[in-house]
Structure 1
């Protein structure tokens, strides 16, 4: 690892999220100055002209930024890229279609990796296929470092830290409720979501796997607590409000359960967790909850019907490479509320907030700080007690240093209510 030319390579730098991420890293590292955090980094992708255009757009602060040409279908180029860097951060999705070559190369070369996938069926496949090889090579793979699933996973982590300080015991029952979610979707995210829905519709075994809350936990786990999955409109007495399904819960819940398992059931052997959207109180809250359920059902039905989904993608939904404008990203935000209860009946509430569009403005910063944490907190600082090779979650790879990074440099708030 000492002879690597780069500390970090951004793979897929010209994608919609890749440009946000690259701009954020360039701005952040240039603001650090000579006395701050310094790394050697490069941007990579398949188009030399697009990469050069991005570099020129970044201006003088990126004048020393190197460019690497690599396509996911070029095994030799991907392997060469990984041999030259300590960490790869990838935005090349849908990952189920394009992600495996980079995982394979990182695992073979012992290169650390993070991404922003929320495709649990693909994550499961990668864990099953490459976990033992990653353990052997020392490659640390961290999926879900964007809005899927940092606010949920690190939110539960933060809540559990507070619970241990207050009660000297874990919160064995935790709920997350989305209070505010303001932002748009990019073509890449829509494509990933539709791909998952269509895969599940065509494969009964996959449908069964995707509803398993313990899909991502290691095979030797002992977790068996029955989980409550919010799949329709409900009234939640803990929040005194109506709730509706949250489209990202299927990812976040499984990541949080994997975190508990990897942390040796630190949240409890009977830990339960679920997510939903708050829709309000009274009749208006109830109507809004049922309306959200109907809208989500209609979208999934349309996505399953390929002629309709093609029509939506062509005329109604953003194309790959398209997404919220910079102004829309700045005006977006999110506010997530958590309640945790101990076996003894104590309760604790926290909130996790973001100051940008959750899927892009905030995701770019969360992903950027995850990559920097891998480089600086787990390589350059010579950490001797760091995680070994394998597939980790944000909450098990990272720690309080990442929470502080998010608070100080990513506009993410973690607060006890």
Structure 2
């Protein structure tokens, strides 16, 4: 049998896939891994290599089609890790995971789709363990900064964390007229994610039959919109997958290591109240239309109209995305001392507050492709520091005990402690 490549990027002709190819060419110089690309059309794949990795030679091109199960298995047999960029994962993710488990190949992707991720954990966790492979989703901007940011907070807190509130800020230093900020695939995933959100309750009842312990004081969600001393502007609950991913990791830490689970709420901040109102209006229309098939048809046919210009079927311009910055501020509250058991209740009110921050550039594609590939590299090089010899895991649970955070810092994703207050 031919020796396996370390990494194969599947879906390399898509927008995220193209940037992942570009990042693979950069990282391979310092991380010394072998890699290839895969997709349906050989000519299109070769064009991607010419444009995004022009200096690379002898990069293997593999043809694999989501409609051809055998081709997916053959692709998986040629890699140690499949980096899957072919979404929406609700429709296209499961066949690749099945092929990876059959071939005993690890799998990472950038899904931000809770239904998909939790269904894969429910149905394939035991099979992945038996095969000795890791299946890790949410390895992009959704949700490495949040999930590993919470792990970073817990590590630096120096006591016991009760609750964490996060505030996401995204801004652009060079707005490009007429350019969208998100690609169409992200929009499509969101449309179907909202449409099928009612699946989550039944799914979670099966996946998590036992509830986490109720711990005091309970973290309460702030109102529809609020101003915070920790984030300049107007903040509202962030509707992305970050919170659900973090909670899966916290449950894992509680069940595996008897660690007190952290309560979390995620917020996004808008610079002006007008921005919040306009986003709320667009969001309300989006939520309403997503519930009906004809509405979903409109959203998918006219994304630019219904997203207020944030999304179009044309890919974002490089100068737009490369000048986009992000920061997530974490406000952790808890106690200076740690009790013996994770279910023990503190008698006094929280007496410690720590603020940390994760920040970077180009969250949708630059930071996402970096975190995605670093996830694959960490699996290759530090699987002995990962739990259970395999399984379907969120990134926090998978990478908490590895050098993932240190490696991301080396690659322009900054983790920092901002302040510590003891009362």
Q: TM-score range by the shorter chain?
A: 0.7 to 0.9
- Which of 105, 118, 128 pairs up with 1:134? 128
- The reply to whether residue 374 of structure 1 matches residue 376 of structure 2 is no
Give the C-alpha shift of residue 269 in structure 1.
3.6
Any idea what SS the aligned residue of 2:415 has?
A: strand
Q: 1:328 to 1:60 in 2, by over 3 A?
A: closer
| Counterparts of 2:294 and 2:89, CA distance in 1 | 23
The answer to whether the 8 A contact 1:173-1:340 is kept is yes
Give the C-alpha shift of residue 271 in structure 1.
2.5
User: Once structures 1 and 2 are overlaid, which stretch shifts more, 215-224 or 311-320?
Assistant: 215-224
The answer to whether the 8 A contact 1:260-1:267 is kept is no
Any idea what SS the aligned residue of 1:53 has?
A: helix
Give the C-alpha shift of residue 19 in structure 1.
0.3
| 1:349 counterpart residue number | 355
| 2:246 counterpart residue number | 256
- The reply to whether residue 113 of structure 1 matches residue 102 of structure 2 is no
| Counterparts of 2:183 and 2:246, CA distance in 1 | 25
Question: For 1:4-83, what aligned pairs fall within 5 Å after superposition?
Answer: 4-30=3-29, 32=30, 37-58=31-52, 60-83=54-77
Q: 1:312 to 1:241 in 2, by over 3 A?
A: closer
Give the C-alpha shift of residue 188 in structure 1.
0.5
| Counterparts of 1:199 and 1:187, CA distance in 2 | 19
| Counterparts of 2:206 and 2:334, CA distance in 1 | 24
- The reply to whether residue 86 of structure 1 matches residue 80 of structure 2 is yes
| Counterparts of 1:298 and 1:328, CA distance in 2 | 26
- The reply to whether residue 271 of structure 1 matches residue 273 of structure 2 is no
| 2:182 counterpart residue number | 185
Deviations 1:247-272 (A, max 9, x none): 31xx1111111111212266954531
Q: 1:362 to 1:292 in 2, by over 3 A?
A: same
For this pair of structures, how many residues does the alignment match? 387
Q: 1:325 to 1:237 in 2, by over 3 A?
A: closer
Give the C-alpha shift of residue 305 in structure 1.
4.0
- The reply to whether residue 303 of structure 1 matches residue 290 of structure 2 is yes
Give the C-alpha shift of residue 187 in structure 1.
0.6
Give the C-alpha shift of residue 57 in structure 1.
2.1
| 2:347 counterpart residue number | none
The answer to whether the 8 A contact 2:167-2:330 is kept is yes
- Which of 318, 337, 360 pairs up with 2:329? 337
The answer to whether the 8 A contact 2:21-2:49 is kept is no
User: Once structures 1 and 2 are overlaid, which stretch shifts more, 225-234 or 344-353?
Assistant: 225-234
| Counterparts of 2:410 and 2:205, CA distance in 1 | 33
Which runs of 5 or more structure 2 residues have no equivalent in the other structure? 173-179, 305-310, 336-349, 419-423
Deviations 1:156-190 (A, max 9, x none): 11111101xxx3x2311101011334481111000
Give the C-alpha shift of residue 306 in structure 1.
3.5
- Which of 176, 192, 196 pairs up with 1:195? 192
Q: 1:345 to 1:367 in 2, by over 3 A?
A: same
| Counterparts of 1:56 and 1:216, CA distance in 2 | 47
Give the C-alpha shift of residue 386 in structure 1.
5.5
| Counterparts of 1:48 and 1:3, CA distance in 2 | 20
| Counterparts of 1:258 and 1:372, CA distance in 2 | 23
Give the C-alpha shift of residue 230 in structure 1.
5.6
Q: 1:74 to 1:227 in 2, by over 3 A?
A: farther
TM-score between the two structures when normalised by the length of structure 2: 0.83
Give the C-alpha shift of residue 228 in structure 1.
4.2
Q: 1:230 to 1:143 in 2, by over 3 A?
A: farther
Q: 1:345 to 1:324 in 2, by over 3 A?
A: same
Deviations 1:207-260 (A, max 9, x none): 6458xxx77974456344566456722355776864212131xx1111111111
Question: For 1:179-258, what aligned pairs fall within 5 Å after superposition?
Answer: 179-182=169-172, 184-200=181-197, 204=198, 206=199, 208=201, 218-220=208-210, 222-224=212-214, 228-229=220-221, 232-236=224-228, 242-248=234-240, 251-258=241-248
- The reply to whether residue 146 of structure 1 matches residue 140 of structure 2 is yes
Which runs of 5 or more structure 1 residues have no equivalent in the other structure? none
Deviations 1:279-317 (A, max 9, x none): 46xxx65x6545533332122223334434433433343
Give the C-alpha shift of residue 45 in structure 1.
0.4
TM-score between the two structures when normalised by the length of structure 1: 0.84
Give the C-alpha shift of residue 4 in structure 1.
4.2
